[in-house]
Structure 1
Amino acid sequence: MIGIVIPAHNEAGYIGATLSAVRLAAAHADLGGEPVRTVVVLDSCSDATATVARQHDVCTLEVSARNVGRARAAGAQWLLDEGARWLAFTDADTIVSPQWLVHQLALDADAVCGSVGIDDWSPHAEHDVLIRTHFERTYTDADGHRHIHGANLGVSAEAYRRVGGFAPLACSEDVALVAALEQAGARIAWSAAPRVATSARRDARARGGFGDALLAAIAAGLAATEPPLAA
């Protein structure tokens, strides 16, 4: 069985589209009918995230951690207990491609670090050109990249268990996991084949994560374009 983990904290406005995309990926013919189970880890949700998730007929797991590392770990453990051989991770504001799982598994690696794309820059409309230019100049969306995103990550159950899974970190839990995998000698594929499109939202849930990196890029770009202060 293939398992998919999606941590969520008050994501009612996004998670419906995420789960629709995940359903398509799970039904891809090239998976040969292998069962795919999705668990949404409801971390301290006070909105309708749980209702939306259950409308999409996926499993839900409630935790009160406000910690993405703990949430991912809880979902992973639940799926491992159910017999998952492969764990795929994405986020509640991310749209995976129909071939997402197929491409992860085709790489025949212990773990797969995928890249991310952004289809909608409208949350940054006033700085659209600046942030697009920065992203295109500094981000490598190609095989051989060295980016790590919880929104596009896969790992075999064996390799995940070997390194003890996700650390209970409020951010960069994905980076810590991949570092542990590298240290353990795992075969890691750095690939742009498993496609996902993530949100450029301003109200990102994980402080220090991808959303904050975009805001920092805007701030740096604005600082670079401002004229020097008069003496």
Structure 2
Amino acid sequence: MIGVIVPAHNEEALLAPCLAALIYAARHEALAGERVRIVVVLDTCDDFSGAIARAYGVETLTLKVRNVGIARAAGADLLLAADARWLAFTDGDSRVSAGWLAAQLALQADAVCGSIAVDDWTAHPLSVREYFYKTYVDADGHRHIHGANLGVSAEAYRRAGGFPPLPCSEDVALVERLVASGARVAWSAAPRVITSARAAARARGGFGDTLAAWAVQ
């Protein structure tokens, strides 16, 4: 079984397209019918995120910690207890491609760090978009780490000790743990994810804050 974890804090505006894309990716022919379980970890939500997740027929786990590291770890623990062999992580404001899961598994690595693309820059000045395209490497061999596009085998995740309870940069910390444990990490642009460049960031210190900082450079 393949497990997919989506941490969510008040994602009602973007969660539906996120889940629709995940469900489509879970049906990819290259997965040969292997079961995919999608879990939305609802962290301190007071909007309709839970109702949207249930309407799409995916599992939910409710927390009140306001901590994305804890949320990702809780979702992973739930799926590992159900014997997931592979864990894939994205975010509630992101849309994976149809071949996202298939591409992760095809790399035959212990972990996969994928790149991201942005399809709407209207919340930011032109200079932010230009700086992104100038500095971001969307190609194999990149060294970007995104919680919105991350996969890891169950064995490697356990060996590395999982996500630390960090409110941001939990994805970076996990990959550092994976590397330290000797895991084979694929830095690939093959698993495709489109993510939001919204100005109102959900996690302090995350991608949204990075974009905001570029705007005042």
Fold-level similarity (TM above 0.5): yes
| Residue 161 (structure 1) aligns with | 158
| Structure 1 residue 204 displacement after superposition | 1.3
Partner of 1:20: 20
Question: Where has structure 1 moved over 3 Å in runs of 4 or more?
Answer: none
Partner of 1:7: 7
* Ranges in structure 2 where 5+ consecutive residues have no aligned partner: none
Query: Structure 1 residue 28: deviation in Å?
Result: 0.5
1:35-46 counterparts in 2 under 5 A? 35-46=35-46
**Higher helix proportion (structure 1 or 2):** 1
- Tell me the distance in 1 between the aligned counterparts of 2:114 and 2:40: 20
Q: Does 1:138 align with 2:110?
A: no
SS of residue in 1 equivalent to 2:87: strand
Q: What is the CA-CA distance between 1:110 and the residue it aligns to? A: 0.2
Q: Kindly indicate whether residue 172 of structure 2 is the aligned counterpart of residue 148 of structure 1.
A: no
Provide the residue aligned with 1:52 in structure 2: 52
Q: What is the CA–CA distance in structure 1 between the aligned matches of 2:201 and 2:15, rounded to whole Å?
A: 14
1:30-179 alignment, distance < 5 Å: 30-124=30-124, 127=125, 129-179=126-176
Deviation at 1:164, TM superposition (A): 1.1
Report the secondary structure of 1:92's partner residue: coil
C-alpha distance in 1 between matches for 2:149 and 2:19 = 14
> What does residue 197 of structure 2 align with?
200
Report the AA paired with residue 6 of structure 2: I
1:212 aligns with 2:209: yes
Q: Which has the larger radius of gyration?
A: 1
Shift of 1:173: 0.3
Corresponding residue for 1:223?
A: none
Matched-pair identity in %:
63
CA distance in 1 between partners of 2:59 and 2:82 (Å): 12
Alignment size in residue pairs: 217
Q: In the aligned structure 2, how far is the partner of 1:73 from the partner of 1:103?
A: 23
TM-score by length of 1: 0.93
Per-residue displacement from partner, 1:129-164 (whole Å, max 9, x unpaired)? 211110011110110000000000000000000011
Q: For residues 58 and 122 of structure 1, what CA distance do their matches in structure 2 show?
A: 31
TM-score (norm 2): 0.99
Q: In structure 2, what residue type is equivalent to 1:147?
A: H
Cα distance in 2 for partners of 1:192, 1:219 equals: 29
Q: Give the Cα separation in 1 of the matches to 2:131 and 2:92.
A: 25
**Offset at 1:122?**
1.6
- For 2:210 and 2:138, the matched residues in 1 are separated by 16
User: Distance between the aligned counterparts of 2:38 and 2:163, measured in 1?
Assistant: 18
CA RMSD of superposed structures (Å)? 0.5
Q: Displacement, 1:83? A: 1.1
Q: Which runs of 5+ in 1 are unaligned?
A: 221-231
